[in-house]
Amino acid sequence: MDDLRPLASYAAVGAWLDSLRQHWGGDPANDDPERLDILEAFCRFADNDPDEIIAGCVLVRDGEKRIRAKGRQRYAGLIAEFQSGVEGSRLRRAKWGNTVRSFLIHNGILLQSGVQGGEPGSEMRDEGD
């Protein structure tokens, strides 16, 4: 998508960074220089801006906010596809996927992707232990 504004100007990005700061401390906008770049890459991949992504996972019924199961499934699938297309190590692919998952999670969209490369002997395990 071509008309993406600076990411920090989107409400959902602000909510993400605020929640990250509140939960983990630090300066989420700067302590991982790739964080916003990864989300931007995903937005272009999905052809949605950050607020549209969150809106696609939520519906309001009878005045109550609910998670839209189909929307969440769609984005879970897109994230997996996005992640698998990242060049580099398995660890790097997992990081890119999990960064986008974190964006959804901190906007209230429950998402459990499972272990990303935790098999014995995988590079994730080798680097993590």
Q: Does 129 engage in binding with other proteins (CB under 8 A)?
A: yes
Q: Does 110 engage in binding with other proteins (CB under 8 A)?
A: yes
Q: Does 65 engage in binding with other proteins (CB under 8 A)?
A: no
β partners of residue 60: 65
Lookup: tokens for 34: 């790739």
Q: Does 111 engage in binding with other proteins (CB under 8 A)?
A: yes
Q: Which of 2, 3, 25, 33 binds other proteins (CB under 8 A)?
A: 25
Which helix (H) or strand (E) covers residue 96, if one does?
A: helix 90-105
β partners of residue 65: 60
Please, which residue, 40 or 98, has the CB nearer to other proteins? 98
Whether the Cβ atoms of residue 42 and residue 86 lie closer than 8 Å to each other:
no
Please give the residue ranges that form the binding site for other proteins (CB under 8 A): 20, 24-25, 91, 94, 98-99, 101-102, 105, 110-120, 124-125, 128-129
